A and B are shown apart, each in its own frame.
Chain A
């Protein structure tokens, strides 16, 4: 499967614990995005990378959230001291930069987080 992959697919944790999610984008894609989706809503932008550089972070991304893409390939999203309000589907998407114009973002299957 050469699509975007995410691990784990499901995560149940207790409030106050830290969690980390991984995203592996399509191999030639240099842009990687993280979105959060709650039930009945559209995905909300969290942050994005061009290669290894994190270029924008949403106001939704509190200081408990941190994302990295150390070698410009896979990315991790860590949530520290989780809260019940963090329960959501975390989606990763990737795209290829062509001539500095927007290109199609391909989504991974998501990681569903439940904070008890």
Chain B
């Protein structure tokens, strides 16, 4: 069935260090992979996305890599700042319906 696994569930890093969150998807028909940041009590906000015809995408301190063969994708945040602290969700969009299957989330804490 359709499933997205996300690891780790919690991640603590020192300010200025890098953070990496990994996701694995099951449906080979997935062709779009967004990452959302959700702060406590707020809506999920898109931070970066990648399509299946691209291997890597970068936006300032944030990058996403995709390995279609292995069916996994990763979020990389460099030079972390306290305001990066939040829950991050990966998702995979299923071709045809375009619904998202979300991972279970990673709570990132950036320690000052």
Contact = CB atoms under 8 A, between A and B. Distances in A.
Interface in A1-59: 4, 31, 33, 35, 40-45, 48, 55-56
A35 B4 CA distance: 16
A48 B102 CA distance: 15
A104 B46 CA distance: 8
Contacts of B97: 48, 55-56
Interface in B1-39: 4, 6, 31-32, 34, 36
A102 interface: yes
Contacts of A55: 97
Contacts of B61: none
Contacts of A91: 43-44
Nearest to A41: B104
Category for how many chain A residues contact B: 20 to 34
A102 B43 contact: no
A102 B32 contact: yes
A33 B99 contact: yes
How big is the B interface, by class?
20 to 34
Given A91-B43, A102-B31, A109-B42, A44 B99 contact: no
Nearest to B49: A104
A106 B98 contact: no
B100 A43 contact: yes
A31 to B, nearest CB: 7
A102 B44 CA distance: 18
A84 interface: no
22 contacts: A33-B99, A35-B102, A41-B105, A42-B91, A42-B104, A45-B100, A48-B97, A48-B98, A48-B99, A55-B97, A56-B97, A91-B44, A101-B32, A102-B31, A102-B95, A102-B98, A103-B98, A104-B34, A104-B49, A105-B34, A107-B43, A108-B43
Interface of A: 4, 31, 33, 35, 40-45, 48, 55-56, 91, 95, 101-110
